Structure 1
């Protein structure tokens, strides 16, 4: 019997664990939307929605651990490790840039709910090459002195 021919080229659109990744994405988006819901008429409702948001994040962590799916570091940085709150700058987290001996600068994220502080090294500012100054003769400076030709700032020669 002849063997079946296998397609040697892998399908680009096939993602392993696609259903699990979609579930994690849904839980993250739902917790983000519940975290942003504010009701000025009832402060109790805000407390309920934030607790629902935290429960979605904790279930997202459990699903990620059981299925051995690695979450993106940018998603991990938006979740508080102490209380599973979604960290939104200005509302649920305060961000400070502190100096560090080993990294230069460190971003300190402090959760407003549980006061947990997380320090993440800040990427260094990109420094481009220093612009070189033009040579003296191109800067309209005095090139010769002592009875020889001199150049004025407007570019005229003095004899």
Structure 2
């Protein structure tokens, strides 16, 4: 028999730790300002100059490794993490630095406030991601069907009571 599972035990803890570390490292590298190199910076060694130029590329590499680790181990990324990653070029979406965002409402002249959509555009590849704003998530289909059956039964019973009185 296998080991009994403790209540605080998380399966695949090393993979979760690796994904978290890669995301933190990518965020740190993407947030670092890029150094401007000129002739007066010749005293620095070449390693620091190359690393300052390739922060964005290294950040994208970490995000690629993160996504491959999550796909291989079949671990879902949190929605908050997925919203900050461009799914087309694997770059980190930082507002104003690597992406721009705007609110869009294409409903009949913007009359429907529940139709607001957050549009995030990546500067690296031009990819666009859209997220609904202030819209509650729809329940899953089996739950919706059960609820609709209950509602129809309740309305039929209420109608029968009115007619019987």
TM-score by length of structure 1 reads 0.67
Q: As a proportion of its length, which structure holds more helix?
A: 2
Q: 1:47 to 1:119 in 2, by over 3 A?
A: farther
Q: As a proportion of its length, which structure holds more strand?
A: 1
Partner Cα distance (1:47, 1:120) in 2: 32
Which runs of no fewer than 5 residues in structure 2 stay unpaired? 38-48, 137-165
Which runs of no fewer than 5 residues in structure 1 stay unpaired? 126-159
1:108-147 superposed matches below 5 A = 108-124=119-135
- What RMSD over aligned residues (CA atoms) do the two structures have, in Å? 2.5
Residues 77-100 of structure 1 show CA distances to partners (whole Å, capped at 9, x for unaligned) of: 100112111111121111100004
Structure 2 residue aligned with 1:52, among 58, 64, 67?
Answer: 58
Partner Cα distance (2:53, 2:120) in 1: 22
Larger Rg belongs to: 1
Choose between structure 1 and 2 for higher RCO, CA contacts under 8 A separated by at least 6 residues: 2
SS of alignment partner, residue 104 of structure 2: strand
Residue aligning to 1:74: 80
Alpha-carbon contact 2:34-2:53 (below 8 Å) kept: no
TM-score by length of structure 2 reads 0.64
